[in-house]
Amino acid sequence: MKSLYLLLFSLLSFFSCKSYQATDHQFPKPVDTTSRSINNQEKKTYSIDGIFADNQFDGARLNSFSKIDDHTFQADILPENTPINMSPWYSFKLWSKEERLIHLVLHYENGRHRYDPKISWNGMQWEALDSNFVSIVDSTDAEFTLTVGPDTLWVSAQELVTSSNVRDWCEDKAIHSSVEFNAIGKSSLGRDLLFLDIKEGEARKKEVLVILSRQHPPEVTGYFAMQSFIDEILEDNALSNAFRKKYRLLVFPLLNPDGVDLGHWRHNTGGIDLNRDWGFYRQPEIRQIADFIVKTVNQDKSKVLLGIDFHSTWNDVYYTGSDELTANSNLPNFKDFWLVGIGGAINDYAPHESPSGFGSPVTKGWFYKQFNAEGVTYEIGDRTPRSFIKVKGQVAAREMMSLLIYR
């Protein structure tokens, strides 16, 4: 009899543990996400002919700095490893002993120019250089003119938003009575995996929405849209207040803190695109986050309705599930009504949707496979005006809340 009790206890323990782990999933286009080596940039200050260049800060990317002629200098930008998506991130500081006008060449190895330069005098307020004054050299490199002097000039592919900036944002959101801020684990290099839990009242059996951001380090515009989206949900108005009472949001604003702070083009410190690891969770960041979501939902006997993953690409687009998937999800045809609502709420705007079935092991498909939940990859263009990003995020949140409140 004792052995029978031990067997039953072991079985219960086994299935209990399994219910707290994300299920392995096969996708039609599998990707090997076993860790690969990366090339770390050397952190240093370069000094050449009175011009200084520096990459000794979080989010920096500058692999070498050299002089071409009396007025022209070159910044070499290399990826963390290859093959890699064409998202060549760069960020560095420049200054000189005396004020000078210089030509600067961004030279990419294994890449080509994508992000028009942003400049800042303090690393916080940023201004985009006019793309008309950025010349493409040999179809890959970029050249432009800058005035440098004793005051530090920051040059970056996009606005610099590091893990410490995201933490500051989370701490600010946690002032709200509906928000709990925590870390659910650590990245490979020991950085916190940040988490916001947004709800009012008891969590048990409350239906859940999951929000993700920054799997890919350079995709800052998607992060901006996520911020605006969350800010709208935290507004003090009838719609937002009613939504927080009825639903719970699990928000992960920075899935790849190592890649962000190391100035990576795409990958984590394991050399892997994290948005290809949602089948077998070989990277520690995805394993911890996926398991945490599953454990939280199962413990509270809840149901995930929707997952939105914020990204950036060349142009604004919503990557959605095919009609066959969405018709049978926990939110049947939600995305159709949602996109119509967004388009109707913004003047002269028609959302660009790109639906598809299962392909690679990305979050959009994972939400369907793991929870039968609707999955959307919310992409913002690299050059989308920041004011419009804010409006899109606000409207997307309002239209989503309206649909779910009255469904």
State whether 49 and 106 are in the same domain: yes
Q: Which CATH number is 63's domain given?
A: 2.60.40.3120
For residue 224, what are the contacts with CB-CB under 8 A and spacing of at least 6? Answer: 380, 386, 389, 390, 393
What pLDDT does residue 141 have? 98
What pLDDT does residue 407 have? 81
What pLDDT does residue 17 have? 54
Residue 132 pLDDT grade (very low, low, confident, very high; cuts 50, 70, 90): confident
Determine what percent of the chain falls in helix, strand and coil, rounding each to the nearest 5.
30, 25, 45
What pLDDT does residue 18 have? 57
Give me Rg for the CA atoms of the chain: 23
Cα–Cα distance between 307 and 54 in angstroms, integer? Answer: 39
Residue 26 lies in a domain: no
State whether 188 and 206 are in the same domain: yes
State whether 233 and 106 are in the same domain: no
Residue 34 lies in a domain: no
Structural domain range at position 142:
45-156
* Type of residue found at 379: E
Please say if the pLDDT value at position 125 is more than 70. Answer: yes
Cα–Cα distance between 160 and 148 in angstroms, integer? Answer: 19
Q: Which secondary structure element, helix H or strand E, spans residue 181, and what is its range?
A: strand 179-186
Please say if the pLDDT value at position 281 is more than 80. Answer: yes
Q: Is the peptide bond before 79 cis (omega within 30 degrees of 0)?
A: no
User: What distance lies between CA 139 and its chain's CA centroid?
Assistant: 28
Q: Which CATH number is 396's domain given?
A: 3.40.630.10
Instruction: Provide the residue count of the chain.
Output: 407
Cα–Cα distance between 189 and 181 in angstroms, integer? Answer: 21
Of 122, 156, 190, the domain-final residue: 156
Q: Token digits for 250?
A: 């699990």
State whether 238 and 311 are in the same domain: yes
- Average of per-residue pLDDT across 176-187: 98
Of 156, 172, 205, the domain-final residue: 156
Residue 22 lies in a domain: no
State whether 149 and 88 are in the same domain: yes
Average pLDDT of the chain is 95
Residue 57 pLDDT grade (very low, low, confident, very high; cuts 50, 70, 90): very high
Residue 25 lies in a domain: no
81 with 271: CB under 8 angstroms?
A: yes
What are the distances in angstroms from CA 63 to CA 49, 79, 106, 273? 19, 9, 11, 21
Residue 19 pLDDT grade (very low, low, confident, very high; cuts 50, 70, 90): confident
State whether 226 and 288 are in the same domain: yes
State whether 151 and 179 are in the same domain: no
**Nearest of 247, 246, 271 to residue 259 by alpha carbon:** 271
Residue 11 pLDDT grade (very low, low, confident, very high; cuts 50, 70, 90): very low
Please say if the pLDDT value at position 99 is more than 50. Answer: yes
Residue 1 lies in a domain: no
State whether 280 and 364 are in the same domain: yes
Please say if the pLDDT value at position 197 is more than 60. Answer: yes
Residue 20 lies in a domain: no
Helical segments of 202-283, H only: 220-233, 238-246, 257-261
State whether 165 and 89 are in the same domain: no
Of 156, 189, 210, the domain-final residue: 156
- Average of per-residue pLDDT across 278-285: 98
State whether 214 and 359 are in the same domain: yes
DSSP string, 19-31: TTSPPP---SS--
Cα–Cα distance between 245 and 206 in angstroms, integer? Answer: 9
Q: How many structural domains does the chain have? A: 2
State whether 122 and 234 are in the same domain: no
**pLDDT of 310-364, one tens digit each?**
999 999 999 999 998 899 999 999 999 999 999 999 999 999 999 999 999 999 9
State whether 147 and 222 are in the same domain: no
Cα–Cα distance between 77 and 110 in angstroms, integer? Answer: 9
**pLDDT of 321-334, one tens digit each?**
999 889 999 999 99
What pLDDT does residue 130 have? 85
For residue 86, what are the contacts with CB-CB under 8 A and spacing of at least 6? Answer: 111, 112, 114
Residue 275 lies in a domain: yes
Residue 73 lies in a domain: yes
Please say if the pLDDT value at position 14 is more than 60. Answer: no
- Which residue in the block uniquely carries the two structure tokens 């009609």? 323
What pLDDT does residue 357 have? 96
**β-strand partners of 213:** 310
- Average of per-residue pLDDT across 171-187: 98
Please say if the pLDDT value at position 12 is more than 90. Answer: no
What percent of the chain stands above pLDDT 90?
93
